Chain A
Amino acid sequence: MKPNTEVKVGKLILKNPVVTASGTFGYGLEYSQFFDLSLLGAIVIKGLSINPKEGNPPPRIYETPCGMLNSIGLQNIGYSYFVKEKLPFLKRFDTKIIVNFFGENLREYIELAERLNDTDGVHALEMNVSCPNKNSHWRKMGLIPELLKEAVREVRKVTDKTLIIKLSPQVTDIAEMAKICEDEGADAISLINTVPAMVIDIKTRRSVIGNPVGGLSGPAIRPIALRMVWEASKVVQIPIIGIGGIITAEDALQFLIAGAKAVAVGTANFINPLSAMEVIKGIENFLITEGIKDINDLIGTVTD
């Protein structure tokens, strides 16, 4: 018999625990030529802002040992264009649409959350706490507990859709940040975002990408991400979406066992467009061979 793979994240029921990581799956469309997107637990959309954003100057990516550095700079098409040009296509699939979003300051976060709350076809909101605005103190909302607290509280007020907070790994105590999100009413948290990192070209003595610092992703960060998911899961009851370097089902299963209710496949999509699908299949096979009837019986079963 087919094991149950359904999991609940906030008000969302995902048919399986595998979603795509924001920024690595475009607007879905790009990957629909490779497989049926309805197979996914959910699609998480590229980070969206109210207005279109141009992003950082090239070069924007650089490969590192078992990973990659990126400084895309949150380039995106903006809310209106997304709703008009991308959302109708996404609605055709039998999966959940989670919109990752950010603002230049807290006011923009709130305004966009309000709009997304009223947007048909958007099932959940994933708030990226990495605010890109160099001139706003909200830039540090992902790093400073007091700012995170206020930001989550204010955004929570304007939406009753499932609100997921996407946390940065750049903190002293991830468990504390996770707890703040829970206390302020978030439905779930996802972690981790990319790890700030740097590579220098010794000939030019400059960074190899357009920005001095970029975000590291891929298998290189997986053990860090796993540790953070485990730490957070010990202090919060709300679901965690585990992200970071997941390429195979085995990687994903580690996160589930550590306490993640769902996982997101990111950089792996670049290496093999079928990655997310293969992870789904692999998890199912594991459940069958291990005789586990319900995936929820596996989640968080790591022993110290």
Chain B
Amino acid sequence: MNKINKLKIIKNQALTDEIHLLSLKVSDPLEAKPGQFFLLKMNERYDPLLGRPLSIFDLEGDKISFLFRVKGKGTKILSKLSLGEEIQITGPFGRWYPFPQGEFAVIAGGIGIASVFYLIKKFPERAYLFYGARNLSEILFYEELKNLCKEVFISTECGRGEYKGVVTETFREKGLKLNLPIYACGPMIMIKELRKILEENQSNLQCFVAVEERMACGLGACLGCVIETTEGFKRVCTEGPVFKIDELKL
């Protein structure tokens, strides 16, 4: 059941210049699955008007967390809210990542880690994580992830870290041969690369990706968030945000 909750901020911490970790105190019991998202309305003003979609990053006990990059007006305001202030969150919305049966591979590009962290946490010691960012300082929760995953492969574009270059290249080298179902979230260019790699290798591995589109209602009513798929337009908020990679028109 989707709900509207007004929750108190118990943590709003800058992890880097751009990335914040926001934790809220859950009052009524809240259930959400990895890959789902909430709409966060920062304040009661009309500008910004709409809620901002953020993936559930973590949910434990009476604490729900979101990891977000400051991008524009809305996330900037969000990053400046103080402890004790309340915000409205609506959700959870959307299709979650199908639960992995055994071991699985995860590919996260940049802030894409926000969407897959909870999946990794829910299924500990089963994930092979390929995690890439522009530079090492943007690789977040490294220690925690190392403990939760079977193995972690870090790629940075600047070259520090284990692998130099984009995360999909590391996956091509080390990940394909694992022969595991893939869960991926990252920028569109990463998703495109991933699909290319899968096609070039004639791989028929199951591959689930979480995608983004601008949203208004978040619940399937406004038809504002559609993307093109092989079966026509689909709503990211309800038929997604998790899609099979071969469904997408990239």
- Number of interchain pairs (Cβ within 8 Å): 100
Given the known inter-chain contacts A25-B221, A63-B49, please indicate yes or no for A271 contacting B227, CB distance below 8 A. no
Given the known inter-chain contacts A54-B233, A269-B217, please indicate yes or no for A33 contacting B2, CB distance below 8 A. yes
Whether B1 lies near A273 (C-beta < 8 A) is no
Contact of A66 among B47, B215, B227 (CB under 8 A): B47
Contact of A62 among B1, B214, B218, B232 (CB under 8 A): B214
Whether B223 lies near A75 (C-beta < 8 A) is yes
Contact of B49 among A24, A55, A218, A273 (CB under 8 A): A218
In the complex, residue of chain A having the shortest beta-carbon distance to the beta carbon of B227: A58
Q: What's the nearest-Cβ distance from chain A to residue B147, in Å?
A: 37
By CB atoms of chain A within 10 A, which of B46, B90, B227 has the most? B46
Complex formed: what's the CA distance from A57 to B223 in Å?
11
Q: Which residues of B contact A270 (CB under 8 A)?
A: 50-51, 216-218, 221-222
Q: Mark B207-250, 1 if CB is under 8 A from A, else 0.
A: 00000011111111111111110001100000000000000000
In the complex, residue of chain A having the shortest beta-carbon distance to the beta carbon of B236: A58
* Residue B88 interfacial (CB < 8 Å): yes
By CB atoms of chain A within 10 A, which of B41, B216, B219 has the most? B216
Whether B215 lies near A61 (C-beta < 8 A) is yes
Q: Which residues of B contact A57 (CB under 8 A)?
A: 228
* Residue B4 interfacial (CB < 8 Å): yes
By CB atoms of chain A within 10 A, which of B47, B215, B228 has the most? B47
Contact of A34 among B2, B46, B48, B232 (CB under 8 A): B2
Whether B233 lies near A59 (C-beta < 8 A) is no
> How many residues of B are in contact with the other chain, CB < 8 A?
30
Given the known inter-chain contacts A59-B213, A218-B49, please indicate yes or no for A271 contacting B41, CB distance below 8 A. yes
Whether B51 lies near A271 (C-beta < 8 A) is yes
Complex formed: what's the CA distance from A273 to B88 in Å?
12
By CB atoms of chain B within 10 A, which of A23, A62, A267, A271 has the most? A271
In the complex, chain A residues 4-52 whose Cβ is within 8 Å of any chain B Cβ: 23-26, 30-31, 33-34, 46
Q: Which residues of A contact B50 (CB under 8 A)?
A: 63, 68, 270-271
Given the known inter-chain contacts A34-B2, A34-B4, please indicate yes or no for A26 contacting B221, CB distance below 8 A. yes
Whether A31 lies near B221 (C-beta < 8 A) is yes
Whether A272 lies near B217 (C-beta < 8 A) is no
In the complex, residue of chain B having the shortest beta-carbon distance to the beta carbon of A74: B223
Whether B222 lies near A24 (C-beta < 8 A) is yes
Q: Which residues of A contact B223 (CB under 8 A)?
A: 23, 46, 55, 60, 72, 75
Whether B224 lies near A269 (C-beta < 8 A) is no
Q: Which residues of A contact B90 (CB under 8 A)?
A: 272-273
* Residue A242 interfacial (CB < 8 Å): no
Contact of A63 among B48, B213, B225 (CB under 8 A): B48
* Residue A121 interfacial (CB < 8 Å): no
In the complex, chain B residues 84-106 whose Cβ is within 8 Å of any chain A Cβ: 88, 90
Complex formed: what's the CA distance from A31 to B13 in Å?
34
Q: Mark B47-63, 1 if CB is under 8 A from A, else 0.
A: 11111000000000000
Given the known inter-chain contacts A66-B46, A72-B224, A271-B51, please indicate yes or no for A30 contacting B233, CB distance below 8 A. no
Whether B1 lies near A33 (C-beta < 8 A) is yes
Q: What's the nearest-Cβ distance from chain A to residue B228, in Å?
A: 7
* Residue A193 interfacial (CB < 8 Å): no
Whether A273 lies near B214 (C-beta < 8 A) is no
* Residue A70 interfacial (CB < 8 Å): yes
Q: What's the nearest-Cβ distance from chain A to residue B97, in Å?
A: 22
Whether A269 lies near B221 (C-beta < 8 A) is yes
Contact of A30 among B46, B220, B232 (CB under 8 A): B220
Complex formed: what's the CA distance from A272 to B218 in Å?
11
In the complex, residue of chain B having the shortest beta-carbon distance to the beta carbon of A20: B221
By CB atoms of chain B within 10 A, which of A54, A58, A67, A274 has the most? A58
30 contacts between A and B (CB under 8 A): A26-B220, A26-B221, A26-B222, A30-B217, A30-B220, A46-B221, A46-B223, A54-B233, A57-B228, A58-B225, A59-B213, A59-B214, A60-B226, A61-B214, A61-B225, A63-B214, A66-B49, A68-B49, A70-B216, A75-B223, A75-B226, A269-B217, A270-B50, A270-B51, A270-B216, A270-B218, A270-B221, A273-B90, A273-B219, A274-B4
13 other contacts beyond A34-B2, A58-B225, with CB at 8 A cut-off? A24-B222, A26-B217, A26-B222, A30-B219, A31-B219, A33-B219, A58-B227, A58-B233, A60-B223, A61-B216, A63-B48, A270-B222, A272-B4
